[in-house]
Structure 1
Amino acid sequence: MITHRDMQPIPLSNLVQRIAAFSDGAIGGNPAGVLITAQHPSEPEMKAIAADVGFSETAFAAPIGDAFRVRYFSPASEVPFCGHATIALGAALALERGNGTFKLILNDAAITVDGHQQDGIIAAALQSPPTHSTAAAPPLVAAALHLLGYTPDDLDPNLPPAYIHGGANHLLLGLKRRDTLAAMAYDLEAGRVLMERAKIITILLAYAETPQRFHTRNPFASGGVYEDPATGAATAALGGYLRDLGWPHQGAIDVVQGEDMGMRSLLRAEISPIPGSSIRISGTARLMA
């Protein structure tokens, strides 16, 4: 709680900004909560606020020196990094402090986010934590396919299953067909159990329309969320994976996510040639009522 000039307590949840990151113009995007305060609320308060907001993540930011200490909470748990909430935070900081680059200190990394607004358009770009990827264990792949109702024949041999990391751990499954991606369905509780056991945040399902244009979906049962309409952390991990794979990305990929759930979102990942280095993830944002 904080106290306004009339000394009436204001619930912190009332101060949360609601911003859709990676929007497609005035529609779509992934809603995130953003709370910027002089000091972080207690951990139980942050958990309660995130649950009350009800979005897949809420970012909590407090100034520390020339940077902001940032923590991310889903309705069910704390997560180490959230891309779309970072884009939303960049938009909020640009609106509050003007266009610029803002240093962020996460639980396990230090990154930056650029935020700017011009002519009514708000945009942001983050530099992800370092990335890495490795081949996924066959038992986990088999369990994930069973969860999602897929078979090994549905997998794209050019995108072999992998553990991928860009600030958080994900399992990547590449699919041969766009309609297979659209048919995704699974049991939320079974998904939560699998993700917690495998220590992954999401399963990233990816279909390559072209070498530089992907369609993705992200089951996020570990956070109590059936699916994210835009996932910056997983897109950063995807960019690092494609670099490790030697994929012909030509320096950048565009990602369409959320289309199958009616929340079309647009993400761009810029991929440097340096192995393991940060991936730049960018998109626009819109303020929600």
Structure 2
Amino acid sequence: MTDLSSDILHYTAFTTDPAGGNPAGIVLDASTLDDAAMLAIAADLGYSESAFLTPPPEGLGEPGRAFTIRFFSPKAEVSFCGHATVATAVALAERIGPGALTFATQNGTVPVEVAEVDGALQATLTSVEPYLEEAAGIEEALDILRWRKDDLDAALPPRFAYAGARHLVLAAATRERLADLDYDFDRLAAYMTEHGLTTVQLVWRASEHVFHVRDPFPVGGVVEDPATGAAAAAFGAYLRELGATTPTATLTLHQGEDMGRPGLLAVELREGDPRVHVSGNAVRIPGQEN
């Protein structure tokens, strides 16, 4: 992996402000690290996820611009992570130039396009093909979150949604309900493990194409994820399949505001394309190099 360092990089995604968005650790050449070492690095960093690159499967993508990428939370490997993908793509683009990148993830191939937009690098990832399922155990989930049934937006019913990782989507009826996050950490972690969930995607619809979102992430050892690209992709698929948005749409998701780390995620749905496209900026966090 020519010209790529094995040092740990620190970037934050879905923001142009180092104090905003969702931080990720990045190792651009993890070819000498085993699973235990990657997990130990992720645990030491304490970010929601960290990303580790190794050589790609044979024949994948353009030589020098294709990679295998793995994601670790402080507690375990994660099948797919959107914010760490965006952060890694921007870090790579700063070193090998903008353009097309291809990542082999645990759950499929994820193309990413990096371009300079308004003077900053922006990455757009394309999800694997998504799907929705009826959500199980909703009364239990509401009890764990300390929500009532009338706290839900009846127009956006609970669903399990997948676009590389699996999430429970719950829509709040009010911004106040979304802002008041107070849940049982251990019980939610157990519920999520039982149902194979990566996060719980809590949303509030501000207008037709604008949403505020929050993502509890106890299975990763984190109370809340500041900006969640994988959940954003799943949520785009959720809205489209329910007919809650138009076949072609660009959605704006605000996340991290209630944590003091605001981030901005753009979710694009394209007619005739079952996949979901998630865009955002990423920037290096100064003073954090290892």
- Whichever residue aligns with residue 266 of structure 1, its letter is L
Residue matched to 1:266:
264
Can you give the 5+ residue segments of structure 2 that lack an aligned partner in the other structure? none
Contact 1:94–1:117 under 8 Å retained in 2: no
Residue matched to 1:133:
132
Does residue 1:69 correspond to 2:68, yes or no?
yes
Residue matched to 2:52:
60
Q: 1:135 Cα shift? A: 2.0
In the alignment, the residues of structure 2 paired with residue 26 and residue 73 of structure 1 have an alpha-carbon distance, to the nearest angstrom, of 21
Residue matched to 1:189:
186
Tell me the SS of whatever aligns to 2:55. strand
In the alignment, the residues of structure 1 paired with residue 105 and residue 89 of structure 2 have an alpha-carbon distance, to the nearest angstrom, of 14
Does residue 1:232 correspond to 2:226, yes or no?
no
1:17-166 to structure 2, matched below 5 A, reads: 17-23=9-15, 25=17, 27-37=19-29, 39=31, 41-64=33-56, 65=58, 66=63, 67-117=66-116, 121-137=120-136, 140-166=137-163
Deviations along 1:69-96, whole A, 9 cap, x unmatched?
A: 1110000000100000000011011011
Can you give the 5+ residue segments of structure 1 that lack an aligned partner in the other structure? 1-9
Contact 1:95–1:117 under 8 Å retained in 2: no
- Whichever residue aligns with residue 44 of structure 1, its letter is A
Distance 1:38 1:47, change over 3 A: closer
Q: Give the length in aligned residue pairs.
A: 274
Contact 1:93–1:115 under 8 Å retained in 2: no
- Whichever residue aligns with residue 168 of structure 1, its letter is A
In the alignment, the residues of structure 2 paired with residue 157 and residue 239 of structure 1 have an alpha-carbon distance, to the nearest angstrom, of 18
Q: 1:155 Cα shift? A: 0.5
TM-score by length of 2: 0.90
- Whichever residue aligns with residue 50 of structure 1, its letter is A
Contact 2:18–2:284 under 8 Å retained in 1: no
Question: 1:210 pairs with 207, 210, 215, which one?
Answer: 207
- Whichever residue aligns with residue 104 of structure 1, its letter is F
TM-score by length of 1: 0.90
In the alignment, the residues of structure 2 paired with residue 245 and residue 40 of structure 1 have an alpha-carbon distance, to the nearest angstrom, of 45
- Whichever residue aligns with residue 16 of structure 1, its letter is I
RMSD: 1.7
Does residue 1:179 correspond to 2:171, yes or no?
no
In the alignment, the residues of structure 2 paired with residue 72 and residue 165 of structure 1 have an alpha-carbon distance, to the nearest angstrom, of 17
Distance 1:166 1:197, change over 3 A: same
Identity %: 39
Contact 2:201–2:216 under 8 Å retained in 1: yes
